[in-house]
Amino acid sequence: MANSYGITVALDSYTLGKLQAGNYSLQVFKGAKGNQSTALPTLWFSVTEFSATVSLKWTEQYGAFVDNQTIANGVVVDISSSKAMNLGDLMTLLSDGDTNVTTTGGRDGAITVFSQQSNEWICGMTQSMNGSAPTPICAFPLFGSQADLMEPYETVVLMFASGQVATGTVVEEAISSSVTITLSGAAPSVAVAFDMNLGWNTSGNPYAVVNPLPINLAETLIVPIS
């Protein structure tokens, strides 16, 4: 049975009012393990309507996509090719740009994407948050006639930022106050709080760490596959 994970963010009334008046969003980034050291995180989910408690929930349901772009900070990946996949499945990017998913040929415990192209593309994993349509969590360079391996990594970075950013945007660095939260089957949920003036409060939870400014998201969220 797939594990479920959750994070709650408590907001006091002063903070709630300032976030709403200032056109803030809660940006959510999620980790991935992989075989490409130059992979980068993408904005996974964004909350723009706030209440005293913001809830984030997801399960172990995955997908993958390919996109005929190259990775750069600020690029918005196109996931129109996204298909649902299970760990162990193989997605093949065909020479005509279409994709095919099979249950054999992939690495156990990973999403495998193989390219039959002769130039660089992007690939990545997708996952659904709060029951919404799946959105991308990472962007990996996919080179011609090579394969990328990607595994789930249940580490999440949260930050509030003024203005709106599209989900799927490649983001290298968090320049606002942020918190890193690590979840697992043994600790599937974590509660934190945010104050507009004081920043993040983890109440001493060992699975949540307030980050220094700025933070390199790739170093935090993209880790080598074992």
Task: Report pLDDT for 98.
Answer: 98
Q: What are phi and psi of 15, to 5 degrees?
A: -60, -45
Could you report the per-residue pLDDT of 195-217, keeping only the tens digit for each? 999 999 999 999 999 999 999 99
**Over residues 148-164, mean pLDDT:** 97
Categorize the per-residue pLDDT at 1 as very low, low, confident or very high, splitting at 50, 70 and 90.
low
Categorize the per-residue pLDDT at 2 as very low, low, confident or very high, splitting at 50, 70 and 90.
confident
Could you report the per-residue pLDDT of 4-42, keeping only the tens digit for each? 999 999 999 999 999 999 999 999 999 999 999 999 999
Q: Where are the domains of the chain?
A: 4-224
Q: Which residues pair with 178 in a beta bridge?
A: 159
Task: Report pLDDT for 226.
Answer: 83
Cα 57 to Cα 194: distance, rounded to the nearest angstrom: 18
**Residue 222: CA count within 13 A, CB half-sphere:** 27
Q: What are phi and psi of 141, to 5 degrees?
A: -70, 130
Cα 44 to Cα 41: distance, rounded to the nearest angstrom: 8
Q: Which residues pair with 192 in a beta bridge?
A: 9
- Say whether 177 sits in a helix, a strand or coil: coil
**Over residues 169-188, mean pLDDT:** 96
Cα 163 to Cα 174: distance, rounded to the nearest angstrom: 14
Cα 196 to Cα 24: distance, rounded to the nearest angstrom: 11
Asked if the model's pLDDT at residue 117 lies above 80, the reply is yes
